[in-house]
Amino acid sequence: MLESSLEFLKCINCGSKLELDSFKQDKEIVEGILECPKCNGQYPIIEKIPILWNDFSLYLSSRKKLGGKLYRLIESIKLKKFCKSSLSNISQTHEDRTALEERWSLIYQNSKSSKFYSEIQKNLNSLQKSNLVLEYGCSIGITTSFLAKYHKMVFGVDRSFFALKIAKKLSKNNLDYVVADFLSPIFGKLSFDLILALNVLELVEPMDFLKHVSKQIHKGYFVISDPYDFDRGINSVKNPLNEKLLRTNLQNLDFKITLQTNTFSHIPWNLKLNPRATLNYDVDLVIAKK
């Protein structure tokens, strides 16, 4: 984690400024704990990645194998104790997402050459340069690292520790990543000039997410894309959106859809699952402005 990121991050529970207890540091904070002096909330930093989850035990409850891997990676005694305590406080073990998140991180790595990313970058180049940018569902950082070339400060948020570990390999002094839930107020009441959300609507209730993003943009752009593939069985969102409903709801939140994305689009997004299988999506892109 960049030490300068401390200026932007807030306690999830009470919105207060966080204090840093650093255990290992080079150009970045490698290991440490972010602590809230007001409500005593604690958030670990492991392998340069802050994990701002309301309850670290809850995060690990569906990633118990990841918890074991993190424990073995940690060097500092205090952070080891924190991780061990969090693992021991897991009251119920849900389906373990560790292997799934690790696998998808590799799939995204193998799919970086998809035309989808070049199309997105072309559209992003048409937008004005911003001071503060945020990407939800940034995964391995394909788009966030591109944005960091042109904008002052860029943050990427994702649930997958494995994906962000890959993203952190490309180090820049204006680019940082956080493990967090998409609806979590990790930036408090901070306003962004540009927010991206590429193909994430099946991971979060769409309307809750749109309202959350709307509060984070007072004046700026929201770039969102999706293939509208919501079939996730018991994990499916309750109220999916389609091309028309997405645009209508953005307009209801005081966004104006740009002329070039007012028409439904079909951008190819090809994901290489393995040497013999490819998942092909047609993705719709919307650029909205306040």
Give the CATH number for residue 189. Answer: 3.40.50.150
65 and 143 in a single domain? The answer is no
Contacts of residue 187, defined as CB under 8 A and 6 or more positions apart, other chains included, come to 8, 9, 10, 134, 155, 216
CB atoms inside a 10 Å sphere around CB 29 = 23
8 and 134 in a single domain? The answer is no
Cα separation of 275 and 114, whole Å?
15
90 and 115 in a single domain? The answer is no
Q: Is the CB of residue 25 less than 8 Å from the CB of residue 1?
A: no
* Number of structural domains found in the chain: 2
37 and 174 in a single domain? The answer is no
pLDDT by residue, tens only, the chain of 290 residues: 999 999 999 999 999 999 999 999 999 999 999 999 999 999 999 999 999 999 999 999 999 999 999 999 999 999 999 999 999 998 776 789 999 999 999 999 999 999 999 999 999 999 999 999 999 999 999 999 999 999 999 999 999 999 999 999 988 999 999 999 999 999 999 999 999 999 999 999 999 999 999 999 999 999 999 999 998 888 899 999 999 999 999 999 999 999 999 999 999 999 999 999 999 999 999 999 99
**Domain span holding position 63:** 3-96
57 and 144 in a single domain? The answer is no
112 and 78 in a single domain? The answer is no
Of the three residues 60, 79, 96, the one that is the final residue of a domain is 96
Cα separation of 78 and 35, whole Å?
13
Q: Which residues of 227-259 are buried (b: 16+ CB within 10 A; e: fewer)?
A: bbebeeeeeebeebbeeeebbebbeebebebbe
pLDDT the model gives residue 233: 84
CA dihedral 230, 232, 233, 235 (to 10 degrees): -100
Of the three residues 46, 61, 96, the one that is the final residue of a domain is 96
pTM confidence score:
0.96
Cα separation of 200 and 67, whole Å?
25
Cα separation of 142 and 213, whole Å?
21
Q: Is 290 exposed, middle or buried (0-12, 13-18, 19+ CB in 10 A)?
A: middle
pLDDT the model gives residue 31: 97
pLDDT the model gives residue 94: 73
Question: Whose CA is closest to 284, among 245, 231, 239, 243?
Answer: 243
138 and 54 in a single domain? The answer is no
148 and 72 in a single domain? The answer is no
134 and 249 in a single domain? The answer is yes
pLDDT the model gives residue 232: 86
153 and 125 in a single domain? The answer is yes
206 and 166 in a single domain? The answer is yes
Cα separation of 36 and 21, whole Å?
11
19 and 71 in a single domain? The answer is yes
Of the three residues 53, 72, 96, the one that is the final residue of a domain is 96
